Amino acid sequence: MKKTVTTLADGRELLYYDSRDDVVRSAVDRRPLDAVSTSSEVRRDPLLGDSVAIASHRQGRTYHPPADECPLCPSRDGRLSEIPDDSYDVAVFENRFPSLAGDSGRCEVVCFTSDHEVSFADLTEEQAGLVLEAWTDRTAELAELPQVKQVFCFENRGAEIGVTLGHPHGQIYAYPFVTPRTELMLRSMEAHRERTGRNLFDDVVARELADGERIVLTGEHWVAFVPYAAHWPYEIHLHPRRRVPDLRELDDAVRTEFAQIYLELLRRFDRIFGPGEPPTPYISAWHQAPFGVPGREEFGLHLELFTIRRTSGKLKFLAGSESGMNVFINDVPPEAAAQRLREVASE
């Protein structure tokens, strides 16, 4: 992998990740951009103890532009975009409309490919592996920022999820706090250690492997399953068999197999609801250990992939119980979801 660091016209950082070492990235951003002005602020909720990012400047962000005006496509034929070069493998840049900025953290956009018409599932194993390298490199660099406590790499896919740009891309949030979801995992992990003397993540994976009913796909280095208490209609958790706290700790063999396993899972997601159905909307989220917390080495890196579509033409909305009390009600039994995800492998 070759990494090239440059800046955009307004001073934001742009990074190219290339599979070839002889690629030269010297294109200059020729847009007449004003300096980025943000109003990001993190406020603490005294009742719940969690944090909320207030970012009113995001009201003006780009919203469903036509394909020929996509800001994530490379700059070609006189049209200038966020990517000054006329092609790229993987590109990462600071978000122009960040939810978090400065002392409140950082937000980045990850463009998986310059091809506007594909999705992550269409990438080759080499391309998917390069994205993983970019996620890993950004995790390592963002971990060095003094204000950053946790790095979250994720992808939203589909208008139903709220995606406003159709180009295949994801995001990275560098939070100045430990997220509520992770705090819950850390508390559960600590309680499990005190109660049993064992690691919670190891025991969860071992339980699913022993039961087998919710296993979707396994490899030498990875195991994918629908969790016992899945929140979403179709939800997969992907764990490395050797527990590590974050992406930086994955070795070469594990990285190579990740591309194979993950691409297969994404392709199965698009086949869940049968032929002729539109692409399945999903959220793909890496859970990594936060920095500077007790017992972070006990945390288990894993990826969570889920869709809000519960059946053909119907979405799972977060209504009263879910939104008001954070108590999920799942219409699809996890065992049935796992069976369906195994079935679609041969379709």
* Positions marked catalytic: 169
Beta bridge partners of 235: 306
Going by the DSSP 8-state scheme, the letter that residue 323 receives in this structure is I
- What is the H or E stretch that residue 153 is in? strand 150-157
State the amino acid at position 108 in one-letter form. E
- C-alpha separations of 164 from 50, 67, 118, 265, 291 in Å: 27, 12, 16, 24, 31
Nearest to 150 by CA among 202, 106, 101, 188: 106
Nearest to 127 by CA among 88, 175, 71, 74: 88
- What is the H or E stretch that residue 139 is in? helix 125-142
Cα–chain center distance at 89: 18
CB 8 within 8 A of CB 25: no
Q: H helices then E strands: how many in the chain? A: 6, 15
- C-alpha separations of 206 from 3, 24, 224, 265, 298 in Å: 38, 46, 12, 20, 16
- What is the H or E stretch that residue 303 is in? strand 302-307
Residues 6+ apart with CB under 8 A from 131: 90, 110, 112, 120, 123
Cα–chain center distance at 106: 15
φ, ψ for residue 132 (rounded to 5)? -60, -40
Q: How far, in Å, CA of 338 to CA of 224, rounded?
A: 10
Q: How far, in Å, CA of 57 to CA of 39, rounded?
A: 6
